[in-house]
Structure 1
Amino acid sequence: MSQIFDFLFGQYATYDTLDIVLELIAAVFTIASVVYSKQNNVLVFPTGMICTAIFVYLLLKWGLLGDMMINGYYFVMSVYGWYVWTKKVDGIAVTPITRTTRKEHLLSAIIFITSAIFVYIVYIIFDKIEHWTSYVDMITTGIFFVGMWLMAKRKIENWIYWIIGDIITVPLYFYKGLTFSSILYFALTIIAIFGYLAWKKNLDKSVVIA
């Protein structure tokens, strides 16, 4: 049992206690944020802002620049999403759950490519490309950038990007030695699947009513 524990969490022996506590706090708020998103609740954004702010600090300290920029972007998009989700006209919310349009699919592709290239440039500038994980980091950055943008616009397809990105991130973080975060993303994958189903049910119901 101790060998398994050491294998999973041995890397934390060299971490500052504060960083471990912060990672756990960020994990709790991340799960809360995704659960609120699944429930189509605007609290997804304030809880998300807390966890992303913590992760920006931790990931910068750990040198994971792509992941750090993802979380910085999440923070900014959370502010935007909070505005969009709460925007009302005559007391009625005007941003319901909808499907992504052809134009938005094109913009999604542009966001993915642009963000991946941007992260690549950052890695080059800071001479951080030391392993194949750096390239995977670039890909997940693009995926998550698109997912967050679509979520802020309340598009159901955002869940597909979250699911794909989470599935890639689980083994990636485990390989990097970030066991808590790897477990977190495994949980997020499950929640994202249920989130997609919940939003689809909501969308189908609104279509029937319309």
Structure 2
Amino acid sequence: MSNWLGLEALAVVFSLAYLVLAMRENSLCWFCAFFGTAIYIWVFGGVSLYMGSLLHVYYLVMAVYGWYQWRRGGVEHRGVRISRWGLTQHLYALFAVVLASAVSGHLLSQHTDAHLPYLDSFTTWGGVLTTVMVARKILENWLYWIVVDGASIYLYLDRELYLTAGLFAVYLVLVVLGFIRWRKHYLEQPITERRQEFAAPDVI
């Protein structure tokens, strides 16, 4: 795995910059996401995490979409505001992730040499969902990341991607701070702007 250490280190730097800037709602985060993602496509493919590699192809596209949403989306194309999902939306989303993970995990286990195919699939589909939530500025994205990042740490340690595992350990701290920061900004928004994405009552 040491052959990938240099590229992995560079991807970690871009990825950490992405999260810090995302916490601050700075649209430059999507440029960092784009470059970090491009590097990880090769790294994950090289260590047989095929779903993880495919996920980063998706991240590459979502970096462009996220930048557009933050800069030109929302009301009057002034950028999306922080909003929330209700219980129904969360249940649909969770069911879709579990089902997709089961299907792709089974296919990978039967037809490829993928390592930990079900866990790889779960972190992949969880990342797909949560990245959409980030692009749309759904407040609860940070809570989803806690689960996805925690599972990813085990996956990357198993594949000896120690820098990436360390990055995700840092992520676990930063996502909590991100949730606190975004929730504060959400509550500072006018009441009329808090229910753009099927939002739930302000109980968290």
TM-score, length-normalised on structure 1?
Answer: 0.81
CA contact (8 A) 1:111 1:145 kept: no
Once the two structures are overlaid, the 10-residue window that deviates more, 46-55 or 162-171, is 162-171
Once the two structures are overlaid, the 10-residue window that deviates more, 96-105 or 71-80, is 96-105
Q: Deviations over 1:8-44 (max 9, x none)?
A: xxx53xx2xxx21110000000000000110011111
Counterpart in the other structure of 1:6: none
Counterpart in the other structure of 1:31: 16
Go from structure 1 to structure 2 and tell me whether the alpha carbon gap of 1:110 and 1:183 turns closer, same or farther (over 3 Å shift): same
Counterpart in the other structure of 1:48: 33
Amino acid at match of 1:135: Y
Counterpart in the other structure of 2:179: 196
CA contact (8 A) 1:111 1:146 kept: no
CA contact (8 A) 2:65 2:135 kept: yes
Could you tell me how far 1:115 is from its partner in structure 2?
Answer: 3.9
Go from structure 1 to structure 2 and tell me whether the alpha carbon gap of 1:59 and 1:45 turns closer, same or farther (over 3 Å shift): same
CA contact (8 A) 1:52 1:72 kept: yes
The 5-angstrom pairing of residues 117-156 of structure 1 reads 117=102, 119-120=104-105, 123-124=108-109, 126-129=111-114, 133-156=116-139
SS at match of 1:58: helix
Could you tell me how far 1:105 is from its partner in structure 2?
Answer: 2.6
Counterpart in the other structure of 2:72: 87
Go from structure 1 to structure 2 and tell me whether the alpha carbon gap of 1:110 and 1:153 turns closer, same or farther (over 3 Å shift): farther
Residues in 2 aligned to 1:191 and 1:153: alpha-carbon distance in whole angstroms: 19
Could you tell me how far 1:200 is from its partner in structure 2?
Answer: 0.5
Go from structure 1 to structure 2 and tell me whether the alpha carbon gap of 1:81 and 1:114 turns closer, same or farther (over 3 Å shift): farther
What root-mean-square deviation, in Å, do the aligned CA atoms of Structure 1 and Structure 2 show? 2.4
Q: Deviations over 1:48-99 (max 9, x none)?
A: 0101110001111211011112211111111111111111689762410011
CA contact (8 A) 1:38 1:195 kept: yes
CA contact (8 A) 1:115 1:141 kept: no
Counterpart in the other structure of 1:167: 150
CA contact (8 A) 1:59 1:65 kept: yes
Percent identical among aligned pairs is 24
Counterpart in the other structure of 2:5: 20
Residues in 1 aligned to 2:73 and 2:162: alpha-carbon distance in whole angstroms: 42
**Of the two, which has the highest radius of gyration?**
1
Could you tell me how far 1:186 is from its partner in structure 2?
Answer: 0.4
Count of residues in Structure 1 that have an aligned counterpart in Structure 2: 193
Residues in 1 aligned to 2:60 and 2:98: alpha-carbon distance in whole angstroms: 20
Give unmatched runs, 5+ long, in structure 2.
194-204
